[in-house]
């Protein structure tokens, strides 16, 4: 496994991040534990979760699954850089949501209890809170750092200007601020190249792409459909997106076949070639899916292939960062 620093921080994380969102709803606890054990066998030390995962309000089901895995010992906690998130509603009461200092304190303590650990390596804002001032947010996070409950702070789903505002506010307080941003990013969804990626690079944030295969559309969905599989990607918005982009997906899968590689692995490999990307989040539902994902770290895409991918999946505007992407 290859490792890199998480943004400008000194902590080293694997180039693939194990996403746990399927643990509970899609994958039972025993299989979830097996996936995490196998991740360590492969050298994956970076795990991502959130207090709302499990999708039963207030239960924190996925964090509890991870916590019971940590509790088995054997160095599981010590070997893991665990990232979790807060923002989403954990009850119907008004202060159990968003990024008030009160909720930050309560949510952190609750996540620590569910995860059965005394510190969180990377505590992430799951979304931007437009109603809470950054001075309040950073005061609360500074307190958590001082108490030893968290080590680093990260964001998710921020715009470029949100990152700038957060970092400038942190600098005024002489606080480290954000070390990472978790954004949707894949060949079909490249909006962050306009301003989020440039802002992250400027402020030293590592980018952690979620939905690296765009809900499975870049994972060989047409090939699976032809063989009688892939039904999970053929409902709701995924089905609508497939029809909208069918020509591109057909060309994409043909290109991957020419390369002799699985589309899912090429999609991950493309992200690993992007400047500023730390680790795409993979969300395996089985050990076999996890094993297959490791191939992405071994694929090198040459300039010709990268150019073909840009032609097939053009970046927004004229390409590159703002303002050149849409102005002179």
Catalytic residue numbers read 53
Q: Please name which of 86, 15, 99, 90 lies closest in space to residue 297, comparing C-alpha atoms.
A: 15
Spatial CA neighbour of 96 closest among 133, 67, 66, 59:
59
Residue 274 vs residues 127, 194, 244, 279: alpha-carbon distances, Å: 23, 13, 26, 10
CA atoms within 13 A on the CB side of 40: 16
Give dist(CA 310, CA 324) in Å, integer.
Answer: 17
DSSP 3-state of 235:
coil
How many DSSP H helices and E strands does the chain contain? 12, 10
State the Cα–Cα distance between residues 221 and 258, nearest whole angstrom. 17
| Helix residue spans in the chain (DSSP H) | 29-41, 61-70, 101-115, 134-147, 160-172, 196-203, 221-226, 236-244, 246-259, 263-272, 287-293, 303-312
Query: Which residue, among 211, 225, 275, 291, has the nearest Cα to 253 in the 3D structure?
Result: 225
Asked if residue 183 lies in contact with residue 207, where contact means CB atoms within 8 angstroms, the answer is yes
SS3 content of the chain, % helix, strand, coil (to 5): 45, 15, 40
Cβ partners under 8 Å of residue 322, min gap 6: 160, 194, 195, 198
Query: CA-to-CA distance for 138 and 119, rounded, in angstroms?
Result: 18
């Amino acid at each position: 496994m290859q490792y890199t620093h998480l943004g400008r921080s000194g902590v080293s994380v694997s180039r693939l991040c194990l996403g746990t969102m399927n643990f509970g709803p899609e994958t039972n606890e025993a299989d979830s534990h097996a996936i995490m054990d196998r991740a360590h066998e492969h050298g994956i030390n970076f795990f991502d979760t959130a207090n709302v995962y499990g999708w039963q309000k207030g239960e924190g089901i996925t964090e509890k699954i991870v916590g019971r895995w940590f509790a088995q010992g054997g160095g599981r906690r010590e070997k893991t850089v665990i990232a979790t998130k807060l923002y989403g509603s954990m009850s119907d009461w008004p202060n159990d949501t968003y990024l008030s200092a009160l909720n930050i304190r309560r949510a952190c303590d609750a996540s620590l209890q569910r995860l059965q650990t005394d510190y969180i390596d990377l505590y992430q804002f799951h979304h931007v809170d437009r109603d809470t001032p950054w001075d309040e947010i950073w005061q609360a996070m500074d307190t958590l750092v001082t108490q030893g409950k968290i080590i680093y702070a990260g964001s998710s789903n921020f715009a470029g200007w949100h990152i700038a505002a957060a970092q400038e506010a942190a600098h005024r307080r002489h606080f480290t601020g954000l070390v990472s941003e978790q954004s949707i990013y894949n060949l079909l969804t490249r909006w962050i190249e306009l301003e989020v990626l440039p802002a992250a690079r400027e402020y030293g944030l590592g980018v952690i792409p979620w939905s690296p295969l765009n809900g499975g559309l870049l994972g060989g969905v047409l090939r699976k459909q032809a063989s009688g599989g892939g039904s999970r990607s053929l409902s709701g918005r995924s089905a609508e997106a497939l029809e909208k982009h069918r020509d591109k997906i057909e060309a994409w899968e043909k290109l991957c076949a020419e390369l002799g590689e699985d589309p899912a692995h090429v999609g991950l490999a493309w992200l690993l070639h992007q400047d500023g990307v730390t680790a795409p989040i993979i969300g395996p539902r089985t050990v076999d899916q996890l094993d297959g994902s490791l191939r992405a770290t071994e694929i090198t895409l040459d300039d010709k292939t990268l150019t073909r991918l840009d032609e097939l999946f053009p970046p927004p505007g004229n390409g590159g960062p703002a303002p050149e992407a849409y102005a002179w």
